[in-house]
């Protein structure tokens, strides 16, 4: 299906009017330049298909980093009535709670520059990466069961995380879950993957704060000009992937499931038995991902302790791919909704944010792509009515991995060297797949986020070294 009927509302907002089987309209936040790529990749069709799902309210939204995904577009946001709506694994994705953590080191770039390569190589050893990664932090079945039900509480009880880490993690890194709806196969896959990066676009990056746009908020986050930071991007690994696989299979076999013209959007009423079981399993996988990122943080702290006798502090750790029950205003009334964010970040503004961010708004971490900048933003109040309090999660692909290899394999190493970025990939192939040119311009994506009043910039960081999965 080719989308033809698109209206430009303002410089940063495009509307796909409601027609045919659509229950709501589609809204895409973008710029003219970014939107051209969106039109070409087919992801707008996914925005339309999501708009047809039962119980959807307000609109089917897409962030400026939108690109083609499984079911929902990556960068897709949709909320469903919690009493009458659905839950869709395709609206969460296979990498449940894939997310980003940012650490501040308290150290100036000049202090670390001479040892960048050594630090990066040690981190490569401490935080396993790649599809065939070495085993992560050792846990047993009892540990894993506790991780699924309690998330970061498990790590704090064992001295692997601090109370401050919990405070600075979305949902305190612990979502209430029974932990009994995750299959044995999923648990087996996750058993050796705590504290690992995995492959694809997952990474660990050492950065330098290059620009500060709001001194007061940056100071509250402990960030200053030329400070060295560390950003970690990983999720629920094989465990989350198996949870998605298991429930998609169950939905295909169930008579209760809701099927649409797009089989990837198969869904079920959230208050059905399968819907409730999937939601609980998704929460368990999210807890696993919170701990996975935390144990990568633990590995980074070990390295910085060894080299500089400092332990970097967590600024924030957040989720991308997740569905959450939240209260929002719909047609003038407060309603309980299940908000799907697929490749998108919760970005509540001041007043709606949880402590300690009630005055600043939730941090929004938008990573670049090896050779490009990354950003810290905060949510703004307006986005509650624009996107259920959501911003984008990255810059968004414009080339497939195979296309990136063909186009950039001969120049990536030279390009990173020219930018003085040291790369330590698990394989050369992943370095080429994740070439900076295979993604949208992150500065323009952030400009679209700000222009659409979804979030505002606090700090910009540039890469010094990167470990790729």
Does 113 fall in a domain?
A: yes
Binding site residue list: 95, 201-205, 233, 320-321, 367-370, 374, 393-396, 468
Q: Which 3 state secondary structure label does DSSP give 94?
A: coil
Nearest to 108 by CA among 310, 331, 353, 316: 310
Does 227 fall in a domain?
A: yes
Q: Specify the pLDDT at position 357.
A: 96
User: What is the rounded CA–CA span in Å between residue 196 and residue 312?
Assistant: 18
Q: Which 3 state secondary structure label does DSSP give 147?
A: helix
* Buried b / exposed e along 209-240 (16+ C-beta atoms within 10 A): beebebeebbeebebeeebbbbbbbbbbbbbb
Q: How many contiguous H segments (helices) and E segments (strands) does the chain have?
A: 16, 19
pLDDT confidence bin for 199, thresholds 50/70/90: confident
Residues in the chain: 469
Q: Does the structure show a pLDDT above 90 at 112?
A: yes
**Dihedral sign (CA 405, 409, 414, 417):** positive
Binding site residue list for Mn(2+): 95, 202, 233, 320
Q: Does the structure show a pLDDT above 80 at 304?
A: yes
Q: Does the structure show a pLDDT above 60 at 65?
A: yes
Question: What percent of the chain is helix, strand and coil (3-state, nearest 5)?
Answer: 35, 30, 35
Does 135 fall in a domain?
A: yes
Is 393 a residue of the active site?
A: yes
pLDDT confidence bin for 309, thresholds 50/70/90: very high
Check: CB of residue 288 under 8 Å from CB of residue 239.
yes
User: What is the rounded CA–CA span in Å between residue 440 and residue 343?
Assistant: 15
- Please state, as a whole number, how many other Cβ atoms lie within 10 Å of the Cβ of residue 82: 18
Query: What is the torsion angle, in degrees rounded to the nearest 10, for the CA atoms of residue 395, residue 466, residue 223 and residue 363?
Result: 40
In angstroms, the Cα distances linking 151 to 91, 99, 455 are: 22, 15, 28
Check: CB of residue 183 under 8 Å from CB of residue 242.
yes
Q: Of 133-147, 160-174, 347-361, where does mean pLDDT reach its minimum? A: 133-147
Specify the number of domains making up the chain.
Answer: 1
| DSSP character string of 217-240 | HHHHTT--TTEEEEEEEE--HHHH
Does 1 fall in a domain?
A: no
Q: Does the structure show a pLDDT above 60 at 133?
A: no
Q: Does the structure show a pLDDT above 80 at 250?
A: yes
Query: Domain of 44: which CATH number?
Result: 3.90.1860.10
Does 255 fall in a domain?
A: yes
- Please state, as a whole number, how many other Cβ atoms lie within 10 Å of the Cβ of residue 314: 25
Q: Does the structure show a pLDDT above 90 at 378?
A: yes
User: What is the rounded CA–CA span in Å between residue 26 and residue 48?
Assistant: 6
CB-side exposure of 443: number of CA atoms within 13 Å? Answer: 8
Binding site residue list for GMP: 201-205, 320-321, 367-370, 374, 393-396, 468
User: What is the rounded CA–CA span in Å between residue 225 and residue 461?
Assistant: 9
Q: Specify the pLDDT at position 403.
A: 80
Percent over 70 (pLDDT), the chain: 97
How high does pLDDT run on average in the chain?
92
Task: Give per-residue pLDDT as tens, 337-372.
Answer: 999 999 999 999 999 988 999 999 999 999 988 788
Q: Specify the pLDDT at position 134.
A: 62
Does 115 fall in a domain?
A: yes
pLDDT confidence bin for 431, thresholds 50/70/90: confident
User: What is the rounded CA–CA span in Å between residue 9 and residue 22?
Assistant: 19
Q: Specify the pLDDT at position 42.
A: 84
Among the listed residues 328, 340, 393, 453, the single catalytic one is 393
pLDDT confidence bin for 130, thresholds 50/70/90: low
Contacts of 10 (CB under 8 A, 6+ apart): none
pLDDT confidence bin for 239, thresholds 50/70/90: very high
Does 2 fall in a domain?
A: no
Does 203 fall in a domain?
A: yes
Range of the domain at 183: 7-468
């Amino acid at each position: 299906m080719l989308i033809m009927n698109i209206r430009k509302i303002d410089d940063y907002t495009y509307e796909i009017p409601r027609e045919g089987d659509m229950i709501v309209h589609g809204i895409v936040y973008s710029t003219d330049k970014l939107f051209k790529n969106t039109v070409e990749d087919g992801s707008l069709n996914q925005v339309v298909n999501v708009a047809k799902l039962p119980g959807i309210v307000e609109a089917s939204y897409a962030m400026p980093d939108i690109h083609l995904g499984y079911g929902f577009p990556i960068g897709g946001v949709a909320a469903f009535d919690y009493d009458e709506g659905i839950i869709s694994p395709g609206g969460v994705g296979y990498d449940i709670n894939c997310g980003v953590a940012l650490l501040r080191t308290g150290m100036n770039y000049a202090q670390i520059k001479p040892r960048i390569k050594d630090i990066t190589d040690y981190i490569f050893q401490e935080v396993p990466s790649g599809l065939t990664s070495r085993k992560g932090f050792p846990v047993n079945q009892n540990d894993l069961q506790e991780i699924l039900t309690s998330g970061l509480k498990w790590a704090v009880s064992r001295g692997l995380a601090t109370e401050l880490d919990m405070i600075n993690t979305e949902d305190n890194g612990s979502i209430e879950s029974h932990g009994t709806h995750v299959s044995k196969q999923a648990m087996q896959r996750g058993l050796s993957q705590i504290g690992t990066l995995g492959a694809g676009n997952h990474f660990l990056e050492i950065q330098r704060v290059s620009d500060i746009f709001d001194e007061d908020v940056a100071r509250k986050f402990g960030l200053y000009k030329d400070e060295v930071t560390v950003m970690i991007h990983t999720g629920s690994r094989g465990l989350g992937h198996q949870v998605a696989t298991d429930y998609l299979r169950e939905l295909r076999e169930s008579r209760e499931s809701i099927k649409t013209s797009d089989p990837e959007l198969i869904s079920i009423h959230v208050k059905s038995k399968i819907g409730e079981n999937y939601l609980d399993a998704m929460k368990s996988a999210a807890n696993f991902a919170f701990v996975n990122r935390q144990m990568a943080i633990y590995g980074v702290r070990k390295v910085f302790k060894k080299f500089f006798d400092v332990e970097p502090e967590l600024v924030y750790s957040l989720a991308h791919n997740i569905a959450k029950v939240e209260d929002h205003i719909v047609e003038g009334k407060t309603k309980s909704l299940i908000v799907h964010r697929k490749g998108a970040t919760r970005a509540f503004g001041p007043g709606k944010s949880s402590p300690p961010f009630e005055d600043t708004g939730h941090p929004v971490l938008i990573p670049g792509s090896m050779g490009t900048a990354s950003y810290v933003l905060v949510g703004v109040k307006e986005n509650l009515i624009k996107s259920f309090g959501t911003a984008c999660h990255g810059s968004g692909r414009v080339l497939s991995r195979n296309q990136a290899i063909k186009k950039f394999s001969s120049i990536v190493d030279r390009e990173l060297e020219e930018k003085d970025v040291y790369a330590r990939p698990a394989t050369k192939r992943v370095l080429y797949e994740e070439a900076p040119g295979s993604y949208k311009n992150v500065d323009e994506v952030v400009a679209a986020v700000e222009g659409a009043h979804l979030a505002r910039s606090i700090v910009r960081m540039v890469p010094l070294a990167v470990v790729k999965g």
